[in-house]
Amino acid sequence: MVRPIIDYSLYLVTGRELLPEGKDYYESLEQSLQGGVTVVQIREKTADTGEFYEVALKSKAICDKYSVPLFINDRLDVFFAVSHSSPSPPLAGIHIGQTDLPLPLARSLLDKAGYPDAVIGISCQTLAEAKEAKRVEADYVGVGPCWWTGSKNLKKGVLGVRGVEEVVLAFGGPAVAIGGIKSPNLPHLLHAAPSLSGVAIISEIVGAQDPTPICQKLQKIIKSYRTGSSSQPKEVRTKENIASGVADLLSVLRKEGPVVNQLTNVVVANDSANATLALGASPIMATVPSEVTQLSKIVGACLVNFGTIKDIEGMLAAGYAANQNGKPIIFDPVAVGASDLRRSSAHELLSTWQPTIIKGNAGEIGALLGSTEVTTRGVDSGAGGFKDPAAIVKTLARKERSVVVMTGEVDWISDGETVVKLSNGNHLLGVITGSGCMTGTLVACFAAAARLAFLASNTEAIPGRLVQGDMFLGAIAGVLAMTVASEVAAERPDVKGPNTFRSALIDEMYNLTGEEILKRANIEVFA
């Protein structure tokens, strides 16, 4: 049976208990439809049958006025009653939970009652539930909860934004995310789960005095993810235009001097701050949650390096605020595979916010990917490297939807489509503490510059996008700035070993020019 095609993009689930004091439910519903809600589900968990029927019948009349499909949550009896009283146009269907009426039985009852076109959706939280929904031929699934919410049963825990895409792909059909979704975190969800057909929202819409502008804002974000990326032509990367682009970003960085907040480990904080200043940016090392949230509005980028695994609450707040304010966030998961604490902390951070760039050594990148080919030894990679490093960085970039930087004797960077190999640097980088961490600092500085370069040349930003600007180029620039400066520093006659090299390295970051980068950059590009 071919059932109607439904636009699930902005799916309103009703909740009269969330209405502002004095707000009429039917007025709220109509304002929501005027703002762009594309489908409505009537959910009445505590109402008796008569009240549920009355609310659903009146809601259908309003939805019919705007040609918006209406679902009934769980109650087949209410579906039949409303369908009998208002047969045209028909109700869209029903939505059921895992503990409600079994879907095959619901389908059989609908067919026998003369409603073979009725759509049935089912809530799913696990891969097994999604596969079962596919087996029993659900028409769509509601996936979640994405975040903590008071409206969902959380006995099985929160799925998390990182788990949504896996469940959606396991079902293989139309899917709507639900659970704690609001306009500030919506871009993160849409970035992390591009296969979604839509988002189900309750409190932000129902709890508004005037839902119309709220729904318009939500639709603007949704539409930007459906059309924004395809409307931006992508430059073909060559070693020549990469090198010249890096030189240009250095000029932007020196001219604009963005502030970069760095939640970094205590071992390298001083060197990281000096490296930031040497490049022409301004460092701040704020970690208190309330402060990092406020500072996010003025900083150009944020670095989260959990080398000494402190200030997790600040890291959570800083990344979330960066996503909200469209600022690049660079994640350096130091020794992430070394302990359960580091693994669980990385998972919590990546489930709370979307990193723009992930930077790590081979052991750290392998741990995030779940590979054991290269293992972590403390804060260092184990011996050796990946047989196919290009495939590793490209795979993790696609998985995490971030630019990925894998540092080592040779550096590999990917945005999930293109891979760049950088063969600059000096062996002395490996014998000073914190050279990898300082690389993360430089990447953050250039990411801030890439955002500023975009804003300077574009009069209108893409609404709802997490970050504007060429973050792939920013990541490459940060690595090249470190490795080229290290080459120049190592050639100085005053450098006798690690200690003098460290000081010379900061000097040469300060003296670094676009011309030096163009002359020395050793770049290979792989599609």
Please identify every residue annotated as catalytic: 43, 123, 152
Contact at 8 Å (CB) between 91 and 117? no
- Residue 136 neighbours by CB distance under 10 Å: 13
Contact at 8 Å (CB) between 176 and 210? no
* DSSP characters over 60-83: HHHHHHTT--EEEES-HHHHHHHH
Contact at 8 Å (CB) between 343 and 367? yes
Q: DSSP alpha helices (H): ranges in 86-148? A: 103-112, 127-135
CA-closest candidate to residue 443, choices 387, 389, 402, 405: 405
Residue carrying the six token digits 């500085």: 445
Which 3 state secondary structure label does DSSP give 282?
strand
Strand (E) or helix (H) holding 315: helix 312-324
- The residues near 315 (Cβ < 8 Å, ≥ 6 apart) are 263, 287, 304, 306, 349
Which 3 state secondary structure label does DSSP give 303?
strand
Helical packing angle, 471-490 and 435-457, nearest 10°: 130
Sign of CA dihedral 420, 425, 429, 431: positive
